[in-house]
């Protein structure tokens, strides 16, 4: 999974092993974008969503926990197995796909 923050200054990638890595995509002095690998890594990540209005905030899912990272520093995790849909105005919207699949005619 590949995603970019709202002002396109950071690229985030979750590889097939569940390792989340970040790349700085700001222009250097020579006007070239190098995609510098940042020395920040999270393991066992399976979902992520950048905030639509804050380029420093990203919500990530590690196992059955959800973390919000602000400038790559994690806040206290919340227990959650939902899939991330939207993140803006400090509010995260997520869906419980297991419940929807159990009752597709009545998603509740």
DSSP per-residue codes, 43-66: SSEEEEEE-SS-TTEEEEEETTEE
DSSP per-residue codes, the chain: -EEE-TTSSEEEEE-TTS-EEEEE--B-TTS-B--EEEEEEESSEEEEEE-SS-TTEEEEEETTEEEEEETTEE---EE--PEEEEEETTEEEEE-HHHHHH-TT---
30 pLDDT above the threshold of 80: no
pLDDT for 102 equals: 84
pTM comes to 0.87
* Tens digits of residue pLDDT in 33-51: 677 899 999 999 999 999 9
């Amino acid at each position: 999974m590949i995603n970019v923050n709202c002002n396109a200054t950071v690229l985030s990638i979750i590889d097939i092993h569940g390792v989340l890595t970040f790349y700085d995509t700001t222009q250097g002095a020579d006007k070239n974008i190098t995609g510098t690998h940042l020395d920040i890594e999270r393991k066992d990540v399976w979902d992520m969503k950048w905030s639509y209005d804050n380029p420093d905030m990203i919500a990530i899912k590690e196992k059955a926990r959800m973390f919000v990272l602000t400038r790559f520093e994690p806040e206290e995790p919340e227990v959650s197995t939902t899939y991330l849909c939207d993140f803006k105005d400090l509010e995260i919207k997520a869906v419980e796909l297991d419940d929807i699949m159990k009752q597709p005619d009545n998603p509740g």
